[in-house]
Every structure is written in C-alpha cells, then in structure tokens.
Chains A and B, each alone.
Chain A
Amino acid sequence: MMLDTVARATSTPELNQPWRELGLKEDEYQRIREILGRRPTSSELAMYSVMWSEHCSYKSSKVHLRQFGEKAPKSDALLVGIGENAGVVDVGQGYAVTFKVESHNHPSFIEPYQGAATGVGGIVRDILTMGARPIAILDPLRFGPADAADTKRVLPGVIAGIGGYGNCIGVPTVGGEVIFDDSYSGNPLVNALCVGVMKHEDIKLAKASGAGNLVVLFGAKTGGDGIGGVSVLASETFDDKKATKRPAVQVGDPFTEKVLIECSLEIFKEDLVVGIQDLGGAGLSCATSELASAGTGGMHVELDRVPLRDANLSPEEILMSESQERMCAVVPPEKVERFMELCKKWDVVATVIGQVTSGKHLEITWHGELIVDVPPRTVAHDGPVYNRPFTRPSWQGELVANGAENLPRPRSESALADAILTLISSPNISDKSWITSQYDKYVQGNTIAAGPCDAAVIRIDESTFLGVAVATDCNGRFCKLDPYEGTQLALAESFRNVAVTGAKPLAITNCLNFGSPEDAGVMWQFAESVRALADGALEMGLPVTGGNVSFYNQTGAVAILPTPVIGVLGVIDDVRKAIPYKFSGVKELILLGETFEEFSGGEWAHLQGHLGGLPPRVDLKREMILAQFMHAQRDFISAAHDLSDGGLAVALIEMLLHSQMGAKISIHGDPFTQLFSESTGRILLAVNPEDSNYLVGKATDAGITTTRLGESGGENLEISGVLSMSMLHIREANQGTIPALFTA
C-alpha cells in the first residue's frame, strides 16, 4: 500500500477517507481539514480519530468537569492539579503523594484476566510517570449477580488478573470494593486506584521543552495490541475486508513493568529527564502529541526507529498501538548516555525516536518521508467539546416516590435474626477474604492496615512513621435514586472511612462510571454527579486532584447504576497512632451519630428486591466534625468502624468477627430501625471502659450524638430484649458465601 505522506495528502485532496469507520463525526472530520488546510494523511487521521474519541478527549464530560477547577477550594496541599497524569498533594516532611483511579471496564468483560491486569498496569504507570514510587493499589469492582453464570467467568479472572499483575510488580493491593448488582451483568466495572509517593523535588511533568532535547521511547517493544479499528487504514482500501486482524486484547507483562518501575526511579533520582509520559490509551499518538502540546509545541519523531515486536506494522498502526509497559521521556542530549546505561542495567529496551524542535508542529517521518505535520495542541487538547442535552428521566419521579420505608419489616426475634443472617451472608456484605487473600498485601513492608477494613493505611517513612490512609466508595443504588445526594453520600462514606483511622482527609479522586452520554437521562445523572462532587469538595475544602470518566457502560439500552467511585486520601503524622478496625479484650461499644428511618437504596431493601425512595440525607459538615473528633481523640479509641451498607447490624458484626468477640448490647426504639437503617455520619467505637465517660463527654462537647451500646465479650451477640445469636453461627454465615460461589 502506498505511504500516505503529507505531500500526497496535499496533491490528492479529494481522496475518500474512512473517518466514519474510525468513529469521527462529519463535522469533526471537516474541522480536521480546516485545521490542517488540507485533508489529513492516514496517520494524522488515525491520531485525530483516537485522540478525539470520548475516552481521550472527554468531549462529553469536559464542560461539566470544569467545575472541579471553578469551584476548587483553596488548598495549600495541592502541588499538581487536574490535567497531568495524576494530581499531587503535599503530605509534609518534604513528601508528596499522588493518587488516581482509572477504569478498565470493557476490556475486562472481553478478557477478564488480561483486562484487569492491564488496568492495573496502566494506572501504575500513570503514577510512576509523576515521578513517584507506586506504593498501593485499591480495586473498586462491580459485577452482575453473584450467582450468574457470567459472573463465575468474569470475577475469578478479574481477581486473578489484578493479583497476577499487582503481586508480580510488588505493589500491595490493600483495598477496594466488590459489589454485585443486576445492572452490571453485561458490563462489569473494573476500576483500579494507585497511590504513589515521592519527594517534592522529584515531581515530573508530561511536557517536552527545550529544543534539541531527545525523545526516548523505553520499555516493551511495540506490537499490534489494541489497535482494532485502525487497521482499516493499513488495508489497501478501507473497505477491503481483508484488513489485517489485530488483537483488541492487550496482554500485560508485569515483569517488564516491575523492571520499568525500578529503572525509571533510578532515572528520576539522577534527574535525567525534563518531561515524561506513559503510553496508555492511544499509545504514541497520545504521548507525543501531549508531550509536545504541553511543551513549546515543536517535536520531530522518526517513527521507523520504534522497536517493533511485529515487523509488519504500518505507521498508522504503530501510532495507535496500545502495547503495554512503554514510556516516553524527554532527555537532554548530555544526559542520554547515562539514561541508556541505566536502561541497559535493567535490560530495558530504549531508543531515541526524535527530538524537541523550536518549531510549533509535531512532525513525524517514516523512512525520511513526512507523514504527520500537525499543531499538537489541536490533537491533544483542542478536541471537540459537546454540550450534550441532559434531562431528569421521566421515571425518576415514580422511582423516588416508592420508598423502602413502607416495606413490611421483620419484628419478631426470629425474623430479626433471619434478617441479620440473610444480610451478612449476602454476596455484597459477606466476607471477601477469598478475594483479598489472592492479593499480596505485605509486599514493600509498609502496610499498617489492609482490607477488610475501612481505609488502607500505608507507612511512607520508616523513620518518622508518616503515612497515608486511602479509601474508595460508591453506592450506585443511592446514586440512581438521587445522583446528586448519592454522589455526596459516596464522598461522605469514603471521607469517613479515612477519618475513622484518625487520618486527616486531604484530597479526592474519582472514577465516574456511567451509561451512554448520548442518553439525556444518563447525561443528567452525570451532570448531577459532577455538580455534587464539585460542591461537596468545596464544602469540605478538599481538592479534586484528578480522575477518570468511563461512559457507555450499558447493555443494550440499559445503563448501569450511575457509579461515581470516589477515592479519598488522608495523611497520618504517625501510623503507630492509626485507629485499628479490630480490638482485643473487653471494650465499651459506643455509637457516634444519629439514626433515622432510612432504608431506601440500602442493603436490606436490596435484598427484598426493592429499589426506590430517597437515599439517606447527607450532611458533609457533620462528617467533618466527626473526622476532627476522631483525629483529636485517637489516643482514647481502641478501634473504630464506619457504618454503611447494612447499618449497625453489619458494622457491629464485622467488628466483632474481626476481633473474635461477642457482645452484649441494648438498643432503644424500634430495633429494626436501629439495626438496619443506613443513616450516614455514624461511627462505631470500641473504647476502654475507663475512657468511655471522657470520650462521650468530648463527643457531646463537639455536638456529636452518642449512644452507649454495651460491652464486648462472650461468644454470642446478645441484644437485650431483642435477640441472641451465636457468633460462631454468624461467622459461618458470613464466610461461606463467596468461596461456595467461586471456588473452582
């Protein structure tokens, strides 16, 4: 096939191009022609089409995401904000921490193991790119019903893939979520969050500046991974059905990533790069155009220098390839020799593929012929922006009118006990250690707390005991009932999970998983969700440091529950003071916060097959008061656990199971409400009996409602006048479910 050079594009302006097959709209194609003043070459068309895709350009979400900047609270902690690969916050003592979540939903549905594995690989490289050592992974996951045949295919593969990659690169997987719901049947969610740590002076940015600096590609060789549709460009004519079939499935090589991490960190330590970018979605197209666009604009790349795994790749395919475990660095010429030495030490393939120029264009040649000549900003940053229509769906009113508060409630001792057993053995609530035990939580030797617990706690300095706490959360049912409240509830819960460790919450990240933006109802959910998060972040004084948007999560016309996963990161000055999740010995159990009749969207209602009504009311100010209290009183709290899915019944049982304890408590008012309500802003504490008066006094001073529940001890859960159940029985019910469903 004839090479489509810039010269050829100029001389054959009317050549028919497969822009539609590549997902471009007619007006988008026309805009490209206007920008270039000619038709694009096939390589340029490939670059624009993929960089202007929803995934890379955020064309439907941009207008909403702007609120994170516009409403941003003043934060001294924010060192690098939205726009870079991941945001960076100051955690003190000269340390900076970066964290971000990303989705790999669709690939994980097609090939669960590799989809999840490469999802982890991708987010870890984003963190590494900032100059940081990756120190923890969290994996918020959503699957179809636990007993569905396809869940048996998807879940074990996803878990093995996350473990297979994370364990092998030596980053502990320490938290996340596993939630089952019908709406995810044909569209599981595989989100991955990574946390990294660095010194302030080691922060790296993705920009190519300084004419004469060299562009170096390093890591794995480039193969035909993930270029699917673009291969039409490599065929004789784009309607030639013989187009080479390229694998849409990317395969991860965690060993190469591990070596890339160590090699990159040594390169950073010697200050050998002026800019760096990982190769993720859209591969070299994205890396070169973003680096150039964020710099001074000029870059020259000799594409034929790219080391290939498959010698038959066309230039268009090389530009598009999503082969994993690759990075692109901008290196001053005098430092390139040392750069290459370090790559050699780690046996990492590294190749100079071009240089920064003083011009304004990104020029790419293939064996000396010019095939790309574009202003890089137009590719990377000035993509289309859509103001998509959004309207509250017509069914929303009916949905919220039908609250779970009206369902018949269990009243008798046996009915309440049954409800408890059903709840704690249900797939969403039941023990997940079959899953978490497939993850290495000990590697790096800094794990203070890892799932199952509210937030993972990781030490970042061995001598000062500085550390961070991280959690992710989202109840998609709450978000369906009210995307605004639901999103703030997710923020509140994630925040509270960090707060119960005694950490000071510092920053927010998010992964917004929604259906099709072309559906006005879904777009409304999205718009409400972003508005809620921006408002909530402002109210709490926490910056949103980055995130990810995943649209088109639906099966046919049916969208998933709106699932804005919110991650919160906090700092702990001394991890030895982190409040644990389990305790030993006899403790007094105290509930902080108020309980209302709030069941809609909750776990109990879900088990009745009910979804309707309004979610619990959220009060972010109260959450902040609770957090301040937890931090201030951490020396007097033996253990703490936040109340969420399944209310007090579940929180209490989880805490007792982990502490291998029973308890004798009493509750006042309607037992069902006390046990199953999912009112937010509540925390269960275990405290030494001699400290309880003091603590209750302090809480009252802070305006926090307290309820003294009773004491731990014994082998039963006794709720006086209500029920008594054996903890052994409870444990069996809680632990049996997941292994029974998923053991091969």
Chain B
Amino acid sequence: MRVGVVTFPGTLDDHDAARAVRFAGGEALSLWHGDSDLQGVAGVILPGGFSYGDYLRCGAIARFSPIMSAIIPAAEKGLPVLGICNGFQVLCESHLLPGALTRNSELHFLCRDQEIEIVNNESAWTSDFSNGERIIIPLKNGEGSFQCDDRTLNELESNNRVIARYVGLNPNGSRNSIAGITNARGNVVGVMPHPEHAVDPLTGPTADGLAFFTSLMKTRI
C-alpha cells in the first residue's frame, strides 16, 4: 500500500513517518508541499515539525499550500489522513478537524514519554488497537493544548470522536485530556503525540505507535 508523506518547508518528522509506514509493511511516497498531485496514494500523513516555521500560528500557513488544496477535498471524500503534532495543527487550521491547538499550559516545549489511552478503535488509523488499550509514545510540542468551545466538545464526546486521551496528569491543558480526535467519517485523524517515534524500542520508548500505521494497512478503502 502506498502512503504519501508530506514535506512542507520546516517539516521535521517526515523521515520518521516514512520509516513507520515501511515498518508497518507499506510503501512511503514523499509528497512535496508545492505539488498538488497526490499520485494515487491510499493514505496521507502530515508529519510533525514547524511547517513554514509555524510563524503566525502553527499550521496556519501550511493550510494554504498547493498540496493541502489537493488533500482537503480528497479527505472530504474519504481519503485516510493522519496528522501528527504539526500535522494535527494543519488539519485543524484546514477545518478538516474541529478545534485548535494552543500553547501548553506550562508555557514551554515539552518532550516526554507519554501514556495515552486509545478510546476509539473505529477510525482508519486506530483499528489495530483495542478500545481502552494504553500505550506509551513520545509527546513533543510547545502548542499541544487541544481547545474548542463547549458545543464542539460535546459533539466530539457524544459522537465518539475522541480517539485518544492522556493518562494521568494532563501534560498540556487539553480539554478533557484529549490527545487525538477524528472527523465524523473516521478517515481523518489528528494526534498530538508521535506514534512514528515509537515503532522500534531501540530509538523510541516502545513500539506501541506502530499500530497507527498497521491500522491503515488493514483499512478497506
């Protein structure tokens, strides 16, 4: 299965995302921000980093790139898209996902091994987990606090659109300890911690993150 990994100027974790796709048995294809051809990929990953320096707001400028103008309509039609960290921010800025990611409550960048609980295993990117499964993957960002208004929060909670929550102390002030969400259809997922950095215990805290990528391999499109 071919999975596109987008590189914006300032993207940092594209190689890691591609490695994770390969570890999961897929083929990673690099997509350049300035192109608008998705080359027939079966899914797209927006990796972490600081697209366009994250100046203005995280993900704000990336949203207007040519590649996003191809991804947005495709995602609306059901193409699986996973946004990790900065990718999650881009998905929110693109209105493919609701809410926004804001400054961590402790006001500084935080890199640590974070326990999260998968609370919805019906999305395209979480089907290889079981519900309630607890995993440890790296969290690393300065603006990872998930915020939205009460109505949106209600909608997310009552429609089972939260896919993962932080376990224990809320690391960044996210509402309801939300670590990741999905769109109504379940094909677009945003997650703040980094599953692509947990596919090999040699370089990550665990290999727990791999299931995000193997989930896609099992998704029927």
- Chain A residues close to B by CB (< 8 Å): 159-160, 163-164, 167-168, 170, 253-256, 258-259, 262, 346-347, 433, 436-448, 459, 462, 575-576, 743-744
Q: Decide: A163 and B9 in contact? CB cutoff 8 A.
A: no
Q: Which 8 A-B pairs have the closest CB atoms?
A: A255-B53, A170-B12, A445-B16, A442-B197, A168-B50, A442-B138, A438-B109, A440-B140
Supposing A442-B194, A443-B12 touch, asked if A160 and B53 sit within 8 A by C-beta, the answer is no
A330 to B196 alpha-carbon distance, docked (Å): 39
A255–B52 Cα distance when bound, in Å, is 7
Nearest to A156 among chain B residues (CB) is: B108
Known A168-B50, A254-B53, A255-B53: A443·B109 in contact at CB below 8 Å: no
Q: A159 vs B106: C-alpha distance in the bound complex, in angstroms?
A: 14
Q: Mark B5-41, 1 if CB is under 8 A from A, else 0.
A: 0000110110110010000000000000000000000
A465 and chain B: residue at smallest CB distance: B202
A259 touches B10 (CB 8 A): yes
Residues of chain B from 125 to 161 with CB closer than 8 A to chain A in the complex: 138, 140, 142
Within the complex, which residue of A160, A447, A743 is in contact with B203, where a contact is CB–CB below 8 Å? A447
User: Closest CB-CB distance, A219 to chain B, in whole Å?
Assistant: 14
One of A159, A255, A576 near B50 (C-beta < 8 A): A255
- Contact A258–B109 (Cβ < 8 Å): no
Residue pair A439, B111 in contact (C-beta under 8 Å): yes
16 of the cross-chain contacts (CB-CB < 8 Å) are: A160-B108, A168-B10, A170-B12, A255-B50, A258-B12, A262-B9, A346-B9, A436-B111, A437-B112, A438-B111, A440-B109, A442-B111, A442-B197, A445-B203, A459-B202, A575-B202
B15 touches A445 (CB 8 A): yes
> B204: nearest residue on chain A (CB-CB)?
A442
Q: Give A446 to B15 CA distance when docked, in angstroms.
A: 11
Judge whether B49 is part of the interface by a CB distance below 8 angstroms.
yes
What interface size band does chain B fall in? 20 to 34
Beta-carbon contact of A445 and B19 below 8 Å = yes
**Shortest beta-carbon distance from A467 to chain B in Å:** 10
Residues of A within 8 A of B106 (CB): 743
Interface mask (B177-202 → A, CB under 8 Å = 1, otherwise 0): 00000000000000000101100001
Further contacts, 17 of them, CB under 8 A, given A168-B10, A439-B109: A167-B111, A255-B52, A258-B9, A258-B12, A258-B50, A259-B10, A433-B112, A436-B111, A438-B109, A442-B197, A443-B140, A445-B19, A445-B196, A448-B203, A462-B19, A575-B202, A743-B106
Whether A164 contacts B52 by the Cβ 8 Å rule is no
Bound-complex Cα distance A576 to B202 (A):
7
A168 contacts B13, C-beta separation under 8 Å: no
In the complex, the chain A residue whose C-beta lies closest to that of B12 is A170
Interface residues of B in 42-60 (CB under 8 A from A): 49-50, 52-55
Within the complex, the shortest CB–CB distance from A459 to chain B, in Å, comes to 7
Query: B107 at interface (Cβ–Cβ under 8 A)?
Result: yes
Cβ A167 vs Cβ B194 within 8 A: no
A443 touches B13 (CB 8 A): yes
Complex Cα distance, B112 from A607, in Å, reads: 31
In the complex, chain A residues whose CB is within 8 Å of the CB of B9: 255, 258-259, 262, 346-347
B203 contacts which chain A residues (CB < 8 A)? 442, 445-448, 459
The chain B residue with its CB closest to the CB of A443 is B12
Q: Which residue of chain B has the shortest Cβ distance to A743 in the bound complex?
A: B106
Chain A residues with CB under 8 Å of B108's CB are 159-160, 163, 438
Closest residue of B by beta carbon distance from A744 = B107
Inside 8 A of A440's CB, which chain B residues have their CB?
A: 109, 111, 140
Chain B nearest CB from A178 CB (Å) reads: 16
Complex interface: chain B residues within 8 A of A443 (CB) = 12-13, 16, 140
Is the pair B53, A253 in contact by a Cβ cutoff of 8 Å?
yes
C-alpha gap A437/B113 in the complex (Å): 10
Chain A nearest CB: distance from B49 CB in Å?
7
A735 shortest CB reach to chain B, Å: 13
Q: What B residues does A256 contact at CB under 8 A? A: 53
* In the complex, B110 has a CB within 8 A of chain A: yes
Q: Are A437 and B50 in contact (CB under 8 A)?
A: no
Write out the residue numbers on chain A whose beta carbons fall within 8 Å of the beta carbon of B194.
442
Q: Give CA–CA (A459, B203) in the complex, Å.
A: 9
Closest A residue to B198 by beta carbon equals A442
A168 and B110 form a contact (CB under 8 A): no
User: Is B202 a contact partner of A255 (Cβ separation < 8 A)?
Assistant: no
Contact A442–B140 (Cβ < 8 Å):
yes
Contacts of A441 in B (CB 8 A): 111
Q: Chain B residues with Cβ under 8 A from A462's Cβ?
A: 19
Compute how far the CA of A253 lies from the CA of B16 in the bound complex, rounded to whole angstroms: 24
Residue of B at shortest CB range from A259?
B9
Q: Complex: how many Å from CA A164 to CA B53? A: 11
User: Given the complex, which residues of B lie within 8 Å of A575, measured CB to CB?
Assistant: 202
Chain B's nearest CB lies how many Å from the CB of A437?
5
B-side contacts of A347, CB under 8 Å: 9
- Chain B residues, CB < 8 A from A438: 108-111
Q: Within the assembled complex, what's the spacing in Å between the Cα atoms of A464 and B202? A: 14
A530 to chain B, nearest CB (A): 37
What's the nearest-Cβ distance from chain A to residue B182, in Å?
A: 24
Closest CB in chain B relative to A503 CB, distance in Å: 16
Bound-state CA distance A204–B48 (Å) is 31
Contact assessment for B197 and A167 in the assembled complex, using a CB-CB cutoff below 8 Å: no
Separation of A282 and B75 alpha carbons in the complex (Å): 50
User: Which chain A residues lie closer than 8 Å to B55 at the CB level?
Assistant: 255
Q: Tell me the nearest residue of chain A to B51, going by C-beta.
A: A255
For B53, what are the chain A residues with a Cβ–Cβ distance below 8 Å? 168, 253-256, 258
Cβ of B52 to closest chain A Cβ, rounded Å: 7
Q: Which of B15, B50, B109 has the most CB of A within 10 A?
A: B109
- List residues of chain A with CB within 8 A of the CB of B110: 437-438
The smallest C-beta distance from B51 to any residue of chain A, in angstroms, reads: 9
Given the contacts A168-B50, A459-B203, A445 and B197 also touching, CB distance less than 8 Å: yes
Q: How far is the CB of B81 from chain A (nearest CB, A)?
A: 22
Distance (whole angstroms) from the CB of B8 to the closest CB of chain A: 10
- The smallest beta-carbon distance between A181 and chain B, in angstroms, is 25
Report the separation of the CA atoms of residues A442 and B200 in the bound assembly, to the nearest whole angstrom: 12
Closest to A459 in B: B203
Within 8 A of A (CB), among B79-132: 106-112
Contacts of A160 in B (CB 8 A): 108-109
Q: Which residues of A are found within 8 Å of B19, using beta-carbon distances?
A: 445, 462
Q: How far, in Å, is B90 (CB) from chain A's closest CB?
A: 15
Chain B CB count within 10 A is highest, among A256, A443, A576, for A443
B152-178: CB near A (< 8 Å → 1, else 0) gives: 000000000000000000000000000
Among A168, A439, A575, max chain B CB count under 10 A is at A168
- Minimum C-beta distance from A264 to chain B (A): 14
A residues less than 8 Å from B107 (CB atoms): 744
Say whether B49 contacts A448, CB under 8 Å: no
Residues of A within 8 A of B54 (CB): 168, 255
Whole-angstrom distance from the CB of A664 to the nearest CB of chain B?
Answer: 29
Least CB distance, A434 to chain B, in whole angstroms: 9
Specify the chain B residue showing the minimal Cβ separation from A253: B53
B171 to chain A, nearest CB (A): 10
A560 to chain B, nearest CB (A): 28
Chain B residue numbers with a CB within 8 Å of A346 are 9
**Alpha-carbon separation in the docked complex, A646 to B144 (Å):** 38
- How far is it, in angstroms, between the C-alpha of A438 and the C-alpha of B10 when the chains are bound? 19
Q: Which residue of B lies closest to A258 (CB)?
A: B10
Say how far B43's CB is from chain A's closest CB, in angstroms. Answer: 20
B59 CB, min distance to chain A CBs, angstroms: 14
CB distance from A407 to the nearest CB of B (A): 39
Interfacial chain B residues near A447, Cβ < 8 Å: 203
A21, chain B: closest CB distance, angstroms: 38
Give every chain B residue within 8 A of A255 (Cβ-Cβ).
9-10, 50, 52-55
**Bound Cα distance from A346 to B33, whole angstroms:** 11
Taking CB atoms, residues of chain A closer than 8 Å to B15 are 444-445
Q: Which of B106, B107, B140 has the most CB of A within 10 A?
A: B140
Report which residue of B10, B15, B111, B142 has the largest number of chain A beta carbons within 10 angstroms of its beta carbon.
B111
**Roughly how many angstroms separate A444 CA and B15 CA in the complex, as a whole number?**
7
Residues on B with C-beta less than 8 A from A743 are 106
A255-B50, A255-B52, A445-B203 are known contacts. Are A164 and B109 too (CB-CB below 8 A)? yes
